[in-house]
Amino acid sequence: MPSLEFNAVIDADIDRAWSIVKRFGELAKWHPSIAKSEIEGGSPDGLIGVVRRVELPTGAILRERLLSVDDVTRTLSYGFIESPLPVEGYVGTVRLTPITGESKVFAQWFSRYELTDPSQEEQMRTAFMDVYISGLKSLAEVSR
């Protein structure tokens, strides 16, 4: 099962950064790789089990379920339930940890998944890493 992890120290206020990340349905407001995002069915954002519809700039649609959100550890996990990508069982996690004495955050975005087409492994690794890197860079910019 492939897994990926991207870690970065970002200049950000931890409380502001977490308040942005935990708004599951508002991903498009801060992530440059996402054209649109919304919670389906009028469910309240942040409830475990809600489904987020994500539209990529290409027009491709993903549906993701919120699996967990923890305000103490500032960790959010989600899983793909529908995706045009050649993966199954995708689970992604974003975790934010304050750096003591500084206005900085240790940010982690990691995932595990199964490939339905093993020949796409490098392409998927690159695509996911691009999403994680651009997302955490943008999070730093909007969290200052």
What distances in angstroms separate CA 125 from CA 16, 72, 107, 108, 130, one per listed residue?
Answer: 29, 30, 19, 16, 8
CB atoms near residue 83 (< 10 Å)? 17
Model pTM?
Answer: 0.95
- The predicted-structure confidence for 102-137, as pLDDT tens digits, reads as follows 889 999 999 999 999 999 999 999 999 999 999 999
Q: Please count the structural domains in the chain.
A: 1
Instruction: Give the DSSP H or E segment for 61.
Output: strand 61-70
Look at the block and give the residue holding tokens 């054209």: 35
CATH code of the domain containing 50: 3.30.530.20
Strand order in the sheet with 51-55: 3-11, 104-115, 87-98, 75-82, 61-70, 51-55, 36-39
Residue 51 pLDDT more than 90?
yes
Mean pLDDT, all residues of the chain: 97
Predicted local confidence at residue 144, as pLDDT: 85
Three-class DSSP category at 110: strand
Residue 116 structural domain: 3-142
